[in-house]
Chain A
Amino acid sequence: MTTSAEPRVARRRSIRRSGAAVARPGFAWAAPATLFFLLFAVVPLVLVAVLSFTNWDGLGSPQYAGLDNWKALIHDHVMIQSLWLSVLITVLGVVVQTPLSILLGVWAAGKPRNRAILSAIYFIPLLLSATAISILWRALLDPNFGVPSQAKWLFGDGNLFGHQTSAIGVLVFVGAWQYTPFHTLIYQGATRAIPPVLYQAAEIDGAGRIRQFFSITLPQLRTTMITSMILMVVGGLTTFDTVLILTQGGPGTDTTISAYYMYQQAFKSFDFGGGSAIALVLVVIATIISLIVVKVSGYDKMRSSTEGL
């Protein structure tokens, strides 16, 4: 065994060399992503910030306007209301979709084949565009020719888009109809990943189905719930297409959520300065919310749910 020393030396050398390269990758590795981010996120953001201090109708050159847009925004009750509406629609979305998708997901994770077929069918709404879905529901909920005209005991005069509560209800319902399948899919996958030994042990201990669900399935889905809720919050805050097509922010300004209000100011009233100011407010708020979510959920130092197994 005279050769035994040589490879060891060689290996140590190669480890040192490759180790150094892995620990501190050069800037070149990050360049494409950084460039992309700068070009499509930072540069537009800076320009929008500049634009929020100007008056511009999209035709000529922007005119410097100082703090006018910001002063107007602070006193704009529609803006403040729109922030609350965004939060409300987001919270309602999470509250409605989470239980539904957990139950459906856990059910769909079961073995019987019919469940696989049914979950494939449930998945269909997600494949449709939000625009198509909104147009579909607008037609289905028409007060004179849609479902409400046939079910007066439930819908009354069918003026769903004429009252704030019912209009918000429609938005939340259509959002849930579209996105629940997606979250169901996430929960289905997560449920299948729960080690079966846990259930086998529980059965030996005499735990029933419901006890198993609350004591094993739910705790094991904790991290999945956080992922899914973050997606719901992001989706809720950026809701736009359903509002554009279903309610157009109406009646009056009753469903004018922030993202739609931004669009309205910029592309309908051609006040790109005011629209940019709203856009910046949205950027700040979305950043704060995502920081809070990451902090509160412990997403940054996520523990494994299979610890101790």
Chain B
Amino acid sequence: MKKRWLPRAVAGSVVLTLGLTLAACGGSSSGSSSSGSFKVLVYGDASNKVEKQIIDTFNKTSKVKAVLQTIPGADYQQKLQTIINTKQAPDVFFNWGGGSIAPFVKAGLLLPLDDMVAKDPGLKSNFLPSVFNSAVVDGKAYGVPMRGTQPVLLFNNKKVLSDAGLTEPKTWDDLLNAVKVLKAKHITPIALGGGDQWPTLMWYEYMYDRIAGPGLFEKAMGGDKSAWDSADSRAALAKLKELIDAGAFGSNYDSVKYTDGGSVALVAQGKAGFELMGSWYYSQQQQDNPDFAKAGLGYSSFPTVSGGKGDATDIVGNTNNFYSVLKKTKYPDAVAQFLKLQYSDEFVKAQMAIGNLPTTTNTVNFLSTAAIPDYSKFQYDLVKAAPSFQLSWDQAYPQTASEAMHTAVQQFFDGKLDADGFIKAMQALPTS
């Protein structure tokens, strides 16, 4: 009794005091329990139309209705963690598996899905095992894959490249050459939403993989902080520095954001040649600039770096998104029915139509019906062939580390931290 009361009272008061200066967040939809509905909370972006469609399909036949709620991208994790232990908590919520749900599992808030899987083995067997397993915590399954796998790719504006006589860069030297050529034409070689910080992080993830292989980061995550100070780590930082100093990102990338459409528009309008971004970039361009997405958007995997230890077919990004279920949901059976739709043919088709690539076993049957079949096929083959798929660093590390990590990542790009400073900052991050 006492234990339950204290955290709540403290939570309420902290929100009051800390929140004195904050604008109140609108919390309008708190469906009453008698109406027979459960809440599905999803990261708000261009992919939401599929979630809407699937929920509509579900509601047609189900007595218990699903209600979709979205939180715009940048604030998703904060809002989720703030509400998840309150009455406003959703029943089902979007996440990145692994590290992103570990604190909730530890706090005993999530429902292990093993019973659901026992009743309907399809909930597990219809997904690629490696993907399903990345939401397994302490031997229990806590997530069912939704949306798709999201490898980070190097996108380009085909017209800008062909006008400059360039082709998609296969090697690091190709990329440096493209930077030089585009810069001479007064085009920003690579668009970067540095104001958001996490797009900058993607460059580190690939550089470290190509030069040191996936082992370095795994070692560092495992608690061996000396990995950051290794020769490979320094070599990766030196290569990044080389790219920055070559003017690859222009000079005002810190004032540009991906989340407000700034960097997206740069590429679409031909003011920049490349952008490194997750595969969701396609649906973003489709929403913002449909004509460009159809005809002008090119893509390739990250170039190889000669002398590096990493496999040239390694990828980084978000392995998948997941739906997890709260223990206190009143409608576990209805939720189980809802989760079944995440491997339905309708779901797979709808995801493919907006350029996402679901990781269900039936995906391969629908590759030809995708919005851009080549794009889906390209990703599918990439993911299938990759010896390593590194989860984004800020998702792999605990949430408590992400702010400090983003700051260090930005400061090294700006030259405010040198390699030593960056290494020190990474060593200071909590790993558990």
Contacts and interface: CB of A to CB of B under 8 A. Distances in A.
B81 A59 contact: yes
Nearest to B416: A252
B83 to A, nearest CB: 10
Given A143-B256, A252-B414, A279 B18 contact: yes
Nearest to B272: A144
Contacts of B106: 59-60
A231 to B, nearest CB: 15
B9 A47 contact: yes
Interface string A45-57: 1011011000011
A275 interface: yes
A161 B400 contact: no
B13 interface: yes
A51 B10 contact: yes
Contacts of A185: none
Given A57-B400, A131-B23, A240-B21, A48 B7 contact: no
Interface in B4-20: 6-7, 9-11, 13-14, 16-18, 20
Given A62-B10, A162-B252, A250 B197 contact: yes
A59 B8 CA distance: 10
Interface in B386-404: 399-404
A240 B260 CA distance: 20
A144 B267 CA distance: 11
Interface stretch (A13-21, A113-121, A265-273, A299-307): A265-273
A44 B16 contact: yes
Nearest to A267: B78
B17 A144 contact: no
A266 B250 contact: no
Contact of B260 (A43, A139, A267, A276): A139
A86 to B, nearest CB: 12
A59 B109 contact: yes
Contact of B17 (A48, A62, A161, A269): A48
Interface string A257-296: 0010011101111111001100100000000000000000
Interface string A219-262: 00000000000000000001011000000101111000001001
A34 interface: no
A262 B18 CA distance: 8
User: How big is the A interface, by class?
Assistant: 35 or more
Contacts of B251: 157, 159, 162
Nearest to A266: B18
Contacts of B266: 144
B271 A144 contact: yes
B287 interface: no
Contacts of A60: 7, 106-107
B13 A47 contact: yes
Contact of A241 (B10, B23, B262): B23
B252 A158 contact: yes
B85 interface: yes
B416 A269 contact: no
Contacts of B416: 251-252
A61 interface: yes
Contacts of A61: 3, 6-7
A192 interface: no
Interface string B298-315: 000000000000000000
A111 B6 CA distance: 61
A132 to B, nearest CB: 11
Contacts of A59: 81, 84-85, 103-104, 106-107, 109
Contacts of A259: 21
A256 to B, nearest CB: 9
A185 B313 CA distance: 64
A58 B85 contact: yes
A51 B255 CA distance: 36
Nearest to B86: A58
B250 A157 contact: yes
Interface centre among A40, A263, A270 (most CB of B within 10 A): A270
A158 B250 CA distance: 11
Contacts of B229: none
Nearest to A49: B17
A145 interface: yes
Find the residue from B109, B255, B266 having the highest chain A CB count within 10 A.
B255
Contacts of B265: 144-145
A168 to B, nearest CB: 14
Contacts of B369: none
A160 B194 CA distance: 13
Contacts of B250: 157
Contacts of A240: 21-22
Interface string A128-157: 011100000011011111000000000001
Nearest to B251: A157
A130 B23 CA distance: 9
B410 A142 contact: no
A45 B262 CA distance: 41
A145 to B, nearest CB: 6
B407 interface: yes
A275 B18 contact: yes
A56 B10 contact: yes
A47 B254 contact: no
B373 interface: no
Among B9, B84, B400, B402, which residue has the most Cβ atoms of chain A within 10 A?
Answer: B400
A162 B254 contact: yes
B195 interface: yes
B411 interface: yes
A3 B250 CA distance: 98
Contact of A266 (B14, B260, B401, B402): B14
B253 interface: yes
Nearest to A159: B252
Interface string B258-283: 00101001100001000000000000
Interface string B356-379: 000000000000000000000000
Given A252-B407, A266-B18, 11 more contacts: A56-B10, A60-B106, A61-B3, A129-B23, A158-B255, A161-B254, A240-B21, A241-B23, A252-B411, A270-B399, A276-B17
9 contacts: A59-B106, A60-B107, A144-B266, A157-B250, A161-B195, A241-B23, A251-B410, A252-B410, A270-B399
The 6 closest A-B CB pairs, nearest first, are A162-B254, A159-B252, A59-B107, A44-B13, A161-B255, A47-B13
